[in-house]
């Protein structure tokens, strides 16, 4: 299965009404039960290709499934973790001024060398943002010698959702004021 389609819905294009129906569909379509697993999502049940779904998302899905099996409210998402971090200064003239992290179309722009609060899912994206490092010796082809993290950060301490939302609102206000000021200057 391709990473472009990590989720299977019913033939009607809607979630399955229950877990048993989703699992029967998996058996009927001869999908590998070690890869395709049923999870409650979108108001019903869907099958996820666990080989391509990010680990952070799988952890959330597993936590929600476990909470439901323990009798917890199944319609509540698992509690997101938030962290205070500081992103390292630019190490190269080619580095971006700010750290830009994107998750499902939502963009977080973070100042370097400034304490910011981010959800763990965005930190996972920062962890996976790497570029290859090469070595070139005279008379030999270029050789890949490793990977370097693009956004190095220091994790300071845990933060709350309320702190994150307040920080996000402050940052959005600063952004809006900046663009308003630029628009007025161009007018």
What's the pLDDT band for 94 if we cut at 50, 70, 90? Answer: confident
Structure tokens at 140: 């030999």
Q: How far is CA 131 from the centre of its chain?
A: 18
**What's the pLDDT at 171?**
85
Q: What angle do CA 110, 81, 65 make, to 5 degrees?
A: 135
User: What is the mean pLDDT of the segment spanning 62-77?
Assistant: 57
**What's the pLDDT at 1?**
41
User: What is the DSSP annotation of 117-154?
Assistant: EEEHHHHHHHHH-EEEEEE--TTS--EEEEEEESS-EE
User: What is the mean pLDDT of the segment spanning 15-43?
Assistant: 85
Question: In this predicted model, what pLDDT tens digit does every residue of 122-134 receive, in sequence order?
Answer: 999 999 998 899 9
User: What is the mean pLDDT of the segment spanning 67-83?
Assistant: 63
pTM of the model: 0.55
Q: Do 133 and 145 form a contact (C-beta atoms < 8 A)?
A: yes
């Amino acid at each position: 299965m391709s990473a472009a389609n990590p989720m299977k819905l019913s033939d009607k294009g809607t979630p399955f009404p229950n877990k048993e129906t989703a699992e029967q569909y998996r058996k009927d379509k001869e999908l590998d039960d070690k890869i395709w697993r049923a999870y409650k999502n979108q108001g019903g049940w869907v099958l996820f290709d666990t080989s391509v779904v990010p680990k952070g998302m799988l952890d959330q899905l597993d936590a929600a499934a476990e909470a439901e099996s323990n009798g917890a409210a199944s319609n509540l998402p698992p509690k997101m973790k938030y962290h205070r971090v500081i992103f390292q200064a630019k190490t190269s003239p080619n580095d971006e001024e700010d750290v830009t992290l994107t998750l499902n179309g939502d963009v977080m722009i973070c100042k370097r060398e400034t304490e910011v609060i981010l959800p763990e899912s965005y930190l996972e994206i920062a962890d996976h943002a790497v570029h290859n490092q090469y070595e070139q010796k005279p008379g030999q082809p270029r050789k890949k010698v490793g990977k370097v993290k693009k956004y190095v950060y220091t994790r300071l301490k845990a933060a709350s959702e309320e702190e994150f939302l307040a920080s996000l609102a402050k940052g959005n206000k600063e952004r809006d004021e900046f663009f308003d000021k630029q628009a007025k200057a161009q007018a």
